[in-house]
Structure 1
Amino acid sequence: MVATMKKVATEDVNATFEDQQKINRFAWNTSRITELKEEIDTKKKQLQNIDACKDIMLADDNCLVIPYQIGDVFISHSQEERQEMLEEAKKNFHEEIDTLESRVEALKK
């Protein structure tokens, strides 16, 4: 039995060019799906941070100026401006997450 298993393992497997192309496409799609899922997780964490910022703002109504971080810079805005910026950022994150999820679904097909 061991001899037959060794014989099967040493036989050459012929793969056509089309088969190799399918294998390559599958590997690329699997890798891309993993990357997109990681990016979706990152966006969801950033979205949770925005929700936490909104909660902080609601809890601290008497503070007129709270810095808002854009990249590496903190900018001070009024509460209304901050609220608008957070809503816009939240909307953008939802759109980006939806786009990424649709790309994942398209790759799975």
Structure 2
Amino acid sequence: MTSKTESLDGVVVKKEDQSRINKFARKNALLQELKDELKSKQDILQDIEEGENSMLLTQEQIIPYRVGEVFFELTNERTISMLEIAKKECLERISNLEVEIIEIEKILKDLKAELYARFGNNINLEPTAPNEI
């Protein structure tokens, strides 16, 4: 037996429906967080690549390298090595984020189809622009 929570223009919202709506909201919020992190990682990757290019042009033997809020003086070779490691880690995280985003988008697509099939125009699952809130 399913429990009814409320009526939406003649359509009864069941507990299972509310669970799907809540899952959609949670996954949608997670998707936005992952997209924000992906953008941040892509920006960091661009900075790393610019750093690598700068290293090719520099004649300096000792390079200041920032880790967190602290700068270390490293040799040119060690700095290039550190940039390569950072780039590899960043690319790996970007790849993982892209896979997670694709998986969540598929879940959201399926949930959206189920909810629109059940509620039609009585439910709005489309994102709103930040200024519309």
TM-score tier, shorter chain, comes to 0.7 to 0.9
TM-score normalised by L of structure 1: 0.85
1:14 to partner: Cα distance: 2.2
1 or 2 for the larger relative contact order (CA 8 Å, sep ≥6)?
1
- Aligned mates of 1:96, 1:68 — CA distance in 2: 22
- Aligned mates of 1:46, 1:53 — CA distance in 2: 10
**Structure with more of its chain in strand, by fraction:** 2
CA deviations on 1:33-78 (whole Å, 9 max, x unpaired) are 0110000000000111101111111111x21111000000000111
1:108 to partner: Cα distance: 1.5
1:70 aligned residue (67, 86, 97): 67
For residue 25 of structure 2, what is the aligned residue in structure 1?
27
**Structure with more of its chain in helix, by fraction:** 1
Structure 1: 5+ residue runs without aligned partners?
1-9
2:83 aligned residue (86, 92, 99): 86
TM-score normalised by L of structure 2: 0.70
Q: Does residue 104 in structure 1 map to residue 101 in structure 2?
A: yes
- Aligned mates of 1:46, 1:25 — CA distance in 2: 31
The 10-residue stretch of structure 1 (11-20 or 47-56) with the greater mean CA deviation from structure 2: 11-20
The one-letter amino acid of 2:31's match is: I
Count of residue pairs brought into register by the alignment: 99
Greater radius of gyration (CA):
1
CA deviations on 1:8-41 (whole Å, 9 max, x unpaired) are xx95642000000001111111111011000000
For residue 14 of structure 2, what is the aligned residue in structure 1?
16
- Aligned mates of 1:27, 1:68 — CA distance in 2: 42
Deviating 4+ runs (over 4 angstroms): 10-13
